[in-house]
Amino acid sequence: MTFDLVLAGGRVVDPSQSIDRVADVAFTDGKVAAVGEGLSASARAVHDCAGRLVTPGLIDLHTHVYWGGTSLGVDAPALARSGAVTTFVDTGSAGPGNFAGFRRHVVEPSPVRIIPLMSVSFAGIYAFSKRVNVGESGDQRLLSAPAALEVALANRDVLGGLKVRVGRNAGGTSGIVPLDIARQVADAAGMMLMVHIDEPPPTLAEVLERLRPGDILTHAFRPFPNTPVTADGRVRPEVREARARGVVFDIGHGMGSFAFSVGRTMLENGFPPDCISSDVHTLCIEGPAFDLLTTMSKFLCIGMPLTEVIRAATDNPARALTRPDLGTFRTGAAGDASVLSLDEGRFDYVDSTGAHLAGEQRLSAKATIIGGAVFHAN
């Protein structure tokens, strides 16, 4: 068999198949064809990956990539080149009132995969900038369950689920009401729901009790208030109960939603995140989040094992999206891969509270493979 492309001689780390060894990865017709040794002899093109990590295409489960259509949108292809992400999950940038434009002008023509989660707020996240910041969940006139359901059902073929933002910043004094409306829409549509939480109201407990198996809590390792840890360094009981019933815990670093102290405490308590994501947007792309690889590197530096960090950006988000074709090198899966360097040195990291960490490791992008072809190589 002749392969279109072989990534040769890298350390292949595919947690979905418990693979961690030096091997080749081959692609044919835009799909994964094989993982093994000596595959480059049968390849039309070979990309030398010696000394590099080769992972299934990275999935950033929380981004904002409605570039040009919202004030917080960043450019997905540019991030794919610089950060080796092959799938961007846009989390609520567009709502029922502007989803058609997002789909036609950004999602469909994009050379990289974008999976939208539609906001239940009519205009999505429409006023998020350095000068104007109006939480879309604060005006309940924008929360039309019938409108959200109609558009969600009409776009089921591209949607990964729904999104709602609750908390004082996103919803003012609306409290839990936006989530209750979103809950109705998600149940009627039969879709997963991702929930953003910031400062109360509502409380973390009120949010978690409304989440179903498969729903995602993002900003799950946020600092006080609404933090998942207690003052004496334990994981809150309602957090453990939510995971036990199948709620997915996602990082969503962003501008204000991840603290090193919380991350360390959660890891010490045996509660790693299910998914690591950046929540990259215009206000955090130059720090503190930067991108997915930076967020992954932070978890490496606070003690999360490399294989588990990679799992949290490949296999686990693919499972959360119910996309078995993503986040894996199984034969026939999407032909996406991320070629990375694991650098050693002294690297300064900062979290959303302004705390600094002197880390000794950093993941950096060396090549992005999309659809079985090299999309970009450094």
**Residues comprising the binding site for Zn(2+)?**
62, 64, 163, 196, 219, 279
Q: Determine the 3-state secondary structure of 115 from DSSP.
A: strand
Tokens of 259: 């603290």
Burial classification of residue 150, based on how many CB atoms lie within 10 Å of its CB (0-12 exposed, 13-18 middle, 19 or more buried):
middle
* Backbone phi and psi for residue 60, each to the nearest 5 degrees, phi listed first: -95, 105
CB 162, CB 149: distance < 8 Å: no
* Backbone phi and psi for residue 74, each to the nearest 5 degrees, phi listed first: -115, 170
59 residue type, one letter: I
82 residue type, one letter: S
> Please, which residues have CB within 8 angstroms of residue 241's CB and are 6 or more apart in sequence?
208
CB 92, CB 171: distance < 8 Å: no
The whole-angstrom separation of Cα 141 and Cα 46 is 56
Residue at token pair 């686990």: 316
The whole-angstrom separation of Cα 207 and Cα 230 is 17
Question: What pairs with residue 202 in β-bridges?
Answer: none
72 residue type, one letter: L
Tokens of 225: 């208030």
The whole-angstrom separation of Cα 114 and Cα 206 is 31
**Rounded alpha-carbon distances, angstroms, from residue 92 to 63, 177, 267, 309:** 9, 17, 29, 25
Q: What is the DSSP string of 239-262?
A: HHHHHHTT-EEB---TTTS--HHH
Task: List binding-site positions.
Answer: 62, 64, 163, 196, 219, 279
